[in-house]
Structure 1
Amino acid sequence: MPNRDLQGILESHFEWFHRRPELSNQEHETTAHIREILEAAGIEILDVPLKTGLVARLKGSISEGPVVALRSDIDALSITEVSQSPYPSEHPGVMHACGHDFHLTSLLGAAVLLQKERDTLPGAIKLLFQPAEEGGNGAQQVLDSGVLDDVQEIYGLHTSAEHESGIIAVSPGAVNAAVGAFRILLHGKGGHAALPHFCLDPIPAAAQIISAAQTIVSRTISPFDQAVLSITHIEAGTTWNVIPPEALLEGTIRTFNTERLSEVSEQLEKLARGIGENMGLKVEYSWQINTVATNNDPLLSGFVADTARNLGFTVVPAVPSMGGEDFALYQQRIPGAFWTIGVGSPQALHHPGFTADPAALSTAAELMAALGVAALRRMADNPERAL
């Protein structure tokens, strides 16, 4: 059964954050409100050199005990909301379409629960309200600050539109994809559309690249691997009777294996250069890896599942997602587990109609708090079980 007193408080906070979404690295109002709530609860806020976002700490009586981190993200997306929420976004063109308002509200709830038993904690719990998860380099900013250097384990949550409200999903191994972004710029020679023989038209080359790129995954990647290549941005020309001098293609590649990610990019570059240069064009290809795959520690993902069941929650295996998640950067340095909670949305993440059911807030908060306490006690009582 949900904690009804806590649930009411969290729904009020959730409404406030949902109405006021802010983009990556611009979460000033969000950060200020989180700080206000934590300070009112008497929770210590650490001095961390972050422009937005913050880190709080709850410390028990054992000064040299273990340290666990609980993480949420706080930024929104550049999407115009069309959901049926009774309290839609008040910021035009920006909405919480990925549930970050749900995540941060859940972590605030965990903070309230943990504060009540702070004196009994055999160590410290750091509460990370991370900025700029949506491609804004937020996790790296936090890691560069050094605030997590003493952390032994880290846990994060995410909303799931696939599951009914309150269902916990967690699995070992890769649960979110490694993500890369590519950019192909084709340089030709523009001119009159009636005189194509005097031009080097980049549009036919772009069309061939788009078509041929779809064979990379189906014909160069093992069927036992999983990969996605999507071209999502095409730009060429400004009017109907002029052949443009350039054409731009952008998109993303996603796999559950970072090495495979780079292999697909290499195949795409060869293909683009071959087609473009064969048609007399100059080809510029650029590529960046935005994040590696989120890879759950097997022992800690089992620990999340056991803790959730002990609280009486329903637990199911997580559905692997080709969506990226920069929680993966923490896992490269700190053993960690990333779990999801069903919010019963009628639409998928990043859709303008996405709606997170606030009824699951107290469930998420209780599990986050329980993970922090149980992890500290496990490590304090059994140091050999600390990873």
Structure 2
Amino acid sequence: MIEEKMMKAFWHLHEHPEISYEETETTEYIYNLLEAEGFTPVRFKNTTGLYCDMGNFDKGPVIGVRADIDALYQEVDGVKQANHSCGHDAHMAMVIATMLKIKDDPVLDSKGVRFIFQPAEEVGTGALAVVDEGVVDDLDYFFGIHLRPVEEARNGYAACSIEHGAASSIEFRITGDDAHGARPHLNHNAIEIGADIVNMLSKIHINPVIPSSVKMTKFLAGGKSLNIIPGNAECGIDMRAQTNGQMTKLKERVYDVLKTIEDFYSVKIEDVDYSGIVASESHQDAIDVLRRSIVETLGEEKCLEPIITSGGDDFHYYTVKLPELKGAMLGLGCDLKPGLHHPHMTFEHSALKNGMEILHKAIINAE
């Protein structure tokens, strides 16, 4: 019965994706579903999403479980649309099923559980919005869950944590003057400036023992008139680092590059907009709880060591902002192919039951 309800929720959410901070129908669907099941959900005051409390918050630990609710916006078969190609539809369904499974469990007499349906993970700011709502402050444990690509975890396996790296981006404008194609001495070609930025980024060298990368991922310059040397360009840089300290060093070096370019070419680097998500800072106690829960559910041979990945997730803002919080993210094997964020991503739906069972065990095992 629970599995049937889980799959019904999954397919509804899969077929009705909404992008970050626009998850109004998703919020209403989950709210109404939970209310119909006898729960008392609460909508967030200042953002989309909701939370729901169960159990006794006056005795024992308070445990949080998080599901991200937004979808990506991408081109699918020639059509740009919202699309659940990161598995958030599965995450929501598993967390809803976990709520149904633990609903009448006597363990709730001795601990509290807060289920959080968080918006806007894909833009990296949803966790911060939830922190601002104040609903994480009284948690002792906090567990997340994420589907993993087949290269990291096969169906029937699970990892006791996902150690994401930090991911950041910088958008900016090169601002100069256009010039006639016959008079290149009258301006600096923004395209050539961009090429120099790309070259200088490749010369950034920081500790090679800690994985990191930096590359330009957006460059827009020029127009329909090909006899104009463009003086302006819109640019974007993607940065990755496995630790927060490494990201700080990388960011400093990128800003040095932009300042050098600005001075050398006498152009302006304007409208600089930095955004990013932090690297994981998982708590060993939470990892141990997930490890035990995986072993009890799948067997010791199916429990994987922490997965280290250069991908990012804003879940880790919770433990960075609240260092005393015992947080970790479960990595669920499901034969996901060809990869996360692929417009036609697929996975084995049978894995959802494993995820629900492990989360259920984690709530029981957290002390």
What are the residue-to-residue correspondences of 1:206-221 with 2, within 5 Å? 206-216=194-204, 220-221=205-206
- Distance change >3 Å, CA 312–CA 225, structure 1 → 2: closer
Query: Distance in 2 between the 1:213 and 1:178 partners?
Result: 18
Which residue of structure 2 lines up, in the alignment, with residue 224 of structure 1? 209
Tell me the SS of whatever aligns to 1:230.
Answer: strand
Give the partner amino acid of 2:25.
Answer: E
Task: Find the partner of 2:64 among 64, 69, 76.
Answer: 69
Q: 1:51 to 1:289 in 2, by over 3 A?
A: closer
CA contact (8 A) 1:269 1:285 kept: no
Give, in whole Å, the separation in 1 of the partners of 2:140 and 2:220.
Answer: 47
How far is 1:276 from its partner?
Answer: 4.1
Q: Does 1:42 align with 2:30?
A: no
- Label 1:177 to 1:269 Cα distance change in 2 as closer, same or farther (>3 A): same
Contact 2:178 2:187 in 1 (8 A): yes
SS at match of 1:296: coil
Relative to the length of structure 2, the TM-score reads: 0.91
**The 10-residue stretch of structure 1 (153-162 or 179-188) with the greater mean CA deviation from structure 2:** 179-188
Amino acid at match of 2:33: I
Does the 8 Å CA contact 1:82/1:353 hold for their aligned counterparts?
no
Aligned residue number for residue 86 of structure 1: none
CA distance in 2, matches of 1:305, 1:16: 31
Partner in structure 1 of residue 219 of structure 2 = 234
Is residue 338 of structure 2 the alignment partner of residue 347 of structure 1?
Answer: yes
The structure with the greater share of residues assigned to strand is 2
Query: CA offsets, 1:219-247, max 9 Å, x none?
Result: x2122111121211111111222112212
Decide whether aligned partners of structure 1 residues 81 and 287 sit closer, same or farther in structure 2, where only a CA change above 3 A counts.
Answer: same
Look up the SS of the partner of 2:350 in the other structure: helix
Q: How many residues of Structure 1 are paired with residues of Structure 2 in the alignment?
A: 359
| Aligned mates of 2:119, 2:171 — CA distance in 1 | 26
Give the counterpart letter for 1:224 in structure 2. V
Q: Among residues 17, 25, 40, which one is paired with 1:29 in the alignment?
A: 25
Kindly report which structure 2 residues correspond to 1:193-208, keeping only aligned pairs within 5 A, or say none.
Answer: 193-208=181-196
Q: Would the aligned equivalents of 2:155 and 2:335 in 1 still touch at CA under 8 Å?
A: yes
Q: Deviations over 1:105-159 (max 9, x none)?
A: 0000100001131575312100011011111521111111111221111011111
Q: Which residue of structure 2 lines up, in the alignment, with residue 308 of structure 1? A: 294
Q: CA deviation at 1:316?
A: 0.9
Who is 1:167 aligned against? 157
Partner of 1:144: 132
Superposed CA deviations along residues 275-321 of structure 1, whole A, max 9, x for unmatched, are 34323322337353422111211222122111110123421123312
Unaligned 5+ runs, structure 2: none
Q: Distance in 2 between matches of 1:276 and 1:40?
A: 59
1:373 equivalenced with 2:361 (yes/no): no
- Aligned equivalents of 1:94, 1:46: Cα separation in 2: 25
Instruction: Name the stretch that deviates more: 74-83 or 123-132.
Output: 74-83
CA drift at 1:47 = 5.5
Q: Give the direction of change, closer, same or farther, for the CA distance of 1:270–1:136 in structure 2 (3 Å limit).
A: closer
Moved over 4 A (4+): none
Deviation string for 1:52-105 (max 9, x for gaps)? 110011114x7433211011100000113359xxxxxxx951101111001010
227-236 or 267-276, which deviates more: 267-276
Whole-angstrom distance in 1 between the partners of 2:4 and 2:43: 30
In the TM superposition, what is the alpha-carbon distance from 1:167 to its structure 2 partner?
Answer: 1.6
Counterpart position of 2:55: 59
Task: Name the CA shift for 1:278/1:92 in 2 (closer, same or farther; >3 Å).
Answer: closer
Structure 1 residues 231 and 129: CA distance shift in structure 2, 3 A: same
Q: Secondary structure at the match of 1:344?
A: strand
User: Which residue is 2:256 aligned to?
Assistant: 270
The CA distance in 2 between the partners of 1:308 and 1:63, in whole Å, is: 28
Identity rate of aligned residues, in percent?
A: 27
Local SS of the residue matching 2:74: coil
Structure 1: stretches of 5+ with no match in the other structure = 84-90, 379-387
User: What is residue 298 of structure 1 aligned with on the other side?
Assistant: 284
User: Which digits, 9 at most, give the CA deviation of each residue in 1:168-211, with x for residues without a partner?
Assistant: 0124xx71112221124222220222221222222111111112
